[in-house]
Amino acid sequence: MKTLSHHVLIFDNNCPLCKAYTGAFIKTGILDRQGREAYNSVTPQTCGLLDMNRARNEIALVNTKTGQVLYGIDSLFRILAHAFPVFAPLFRLSPFRWLMKKLYSFISYNRKVIIPSDTTHDGCVPDFNMRYRRTYILFTWLATSAILTTYSQLLAGVLPPSRFFREFLVCGGQIVFQSCVLYFIDRKKIMTYLGNMMTISFAGGLLLLLIMGIGRLCGLHDPLAYSALFLLTAGLMFIEHWRRMRLLGIHWSASASWVLYRVILLTVIL
């Protein structure tokens, strides 16, 4: 594995994921110790070479010798191809590059709803992209619905088992319900809110997946235990919802309506 010298990666220092993988590049020697700079504190020399607007959306790699700048997936492929030359032919394949570029954009444009930050002190906020936001909401909607369908089978005896279509309607119903609430609270933040809400739902689904995996390993079959763990997960989701609303400057009533929808839903199911 070779170190890529005389290159600087411009990363979003308010994004934990960006900090993690660029830090890993430094620690493993893929980049040298001066191989990254935070977007919010970039040096004047580097700033003069960058398209600062594009660098908010796509991580930039600056060649400090030639002044060449690569953005997004091209910058990551340049780093990885130098460290692992065996993968270089794969990185040159047009279908693979197209797919990875779409995946990169999907994550990059939604990174602030995946892990939000205080935008008043964050200069590296990506542009809003409606297509990628809708795709993100649809992806998390489908994934969460599938997980809840599986988990509902473990609650038999406490709650009636569910099917995918019902869970899909339940998740979709909350999207509509909360959209109506946000329309009256702060309509300009509807898509930002929905992105954050669906991140919370998806994170809760992933936690339920972990619970199911551990439960199978331990031979747990008690529906009451799974019900209690489901309520614990819902409680953690509420805490995260409240935290995000404060961070985003959205009125607390959005959290109250989030709970209200679930109470109404539980009453209907029972």
Q: Higher confidence at residue 86 or residue 266?
A: 86
Highest mean pLDDT among 2-16, 28-42, 195-209: 195-209
| Tens-place pLDDT, residues 196-210 | 999 999 999 999 999
In this predicted structure, what is the pLDDT of residue 148? 95
pLDDT greater than 90 at residue 225: yes
194 band by pLDDT with thresholds 50, 70 and 90: very high
| CB atoms inside a 10 Å sphere around CB 44 | 6
Domain ranges of the chain: 7-113, 128-269
- For residues 15 and 116, what is the distance between their CA atoms, to the nearest angstrom? 8
Give how far the C-alpha of residue 162 lies from the chain's centroid of Cα atoms, to the nearest Å. Answer: 27
Q: Higher confidence at residue 116 or residue 180?
A: 180
| Tens-place pLDDT, residues 107-122 | 999 999 999 876 666 6
The helix/strand/coil state of 63 is strand
CB 179, CB 198: distance < 8 Å = no
pLDDT greater than 70 at residue 48: yes
DSSP letters spanning 93-141: -HHHHHHHHHHHHHHHHHHHHHS---GGG-S-PPPP-HHHHHHHHHHHH
The pLDDT of 126-131, averaged and rounded, is 94
pLDDT greater than 90 at residue 46: no
Q: Which residues contact 26 (CB under 8 A, 6 or more apart)?
A: 32, 33, 35, 36
* Residue 62, strand partner residues: 8, 69
In the numeric block, which tokens belong to residue 179? 């959209």
* Whole-number percent of the chain with pLDDT over 90: 71
| Tens-place pLDDT, residues 137-159 | 999 999 999 999 999 999 988 88
130 band by pLDDT with thresholds 50, 70 and 90: very high
66 φ/ψ sector (left φ>0, alpha ψ -120 to 50, else beta): alpha
Q: Higher confidence at residue 250 or residue 43?
A: 250
In this predicted structure, what is the pLDDT of residue 43? 82
- Mean pLDDT (the chain) is 92
- For residues 223 and 161, what is the distance between their CA atoms, to the nearest angstrom? 11
* Phi, psi values for residue 7, rounded to 5°: -130, 145
Sign of the C-alpha dihedral computed for residues 222, 143, 130 and 79 taken in this order: positive
